[in-house]
Amino acid sequence: MDANTSQLLELIRPFKGQTGATIPVLQAIQTNVGYLPPESFALIEQEMGIPASKAYGVATFYAQFRTTPVGKHLIKVCDGTACHVKGAVNILTAIRDYLHLADADTTEDRVFTVQVVACLGCCSLAPVMMVGETTYGSLSLEKTREILDSYRAGEV
């Protein structure tokens, strides 16, 4: 048993025998590992008796779950109505260009992952993005680049 399997089993076992524990066990794994590795679904089936296909179906249905590794800094770009009207698409394009993200959501060095979200609830600050738990509003292309530079430099 490798270290990754051992870690996953430690996260899964506390939920064994609990009814309705599919979402909580997925949340526990993602919180601790950063995403839901493929082997986690087989281990959930093995330990909890929840079919791997059901657990995977839940994980892919809800936007909160990720089945691929993410970067150190998760960037959420709001594309809700207010942000969209105020140029969120331009901000997103600038971020993707600046980070050299062509067809991927995560930079090659796994420092940044970019995700578009429906709403961050900060409409009066549009356009808005979050980096980790920090919200940045009234974004311009220049301000966005400065924010990304500060994260890349380790200032934040």
Model pLDDT, residue 104? 80
Per-residue pLDDT tens over the stretch 121-132: 999 999 999 999
Per-residue pLDDT tens over the stretch 79-114: 999 999 999 999 999 999 999 998 789 999 999 999
Model pLDDT, residue 15? 96
User: What are the chain's domains?
Assistant: 3-61 (no CATH), 73-152 (3.40.30.10)
Tokens found for residue 109: 């060095």
**pLDDT confidence bin for 2, thresholds 50/70/90:** low
CA dist., res. 45 & res. 88, Å (int): 41
Is it the case that residue 70 has pLDDT exceeding 90? no
State whether residue 26 is helix, strand or coil: helix
Question: What average pLDDT is seen over the chain?
Answer: 93
* Beta-sheet strands, E only, within the chain: 73-78, 112-117, 129-131, 134-136
Higher pLDDT, 34 or 88: 88
Is it the case that residue 3 has pLDDT exceeding 80? no
**pLDDT confidence bin for 55, thresholds 50/70/90:** very high
3-state helix vs strand vs coil in the chain, percent to 5: 50, 10, 40
Model pLDDT, residue 111? 93
Is it the case that residue 41 has pLDDT exceeding 90? yes
By percentage, how much of the chain surpasses pLDDT 70?
Answer: 98
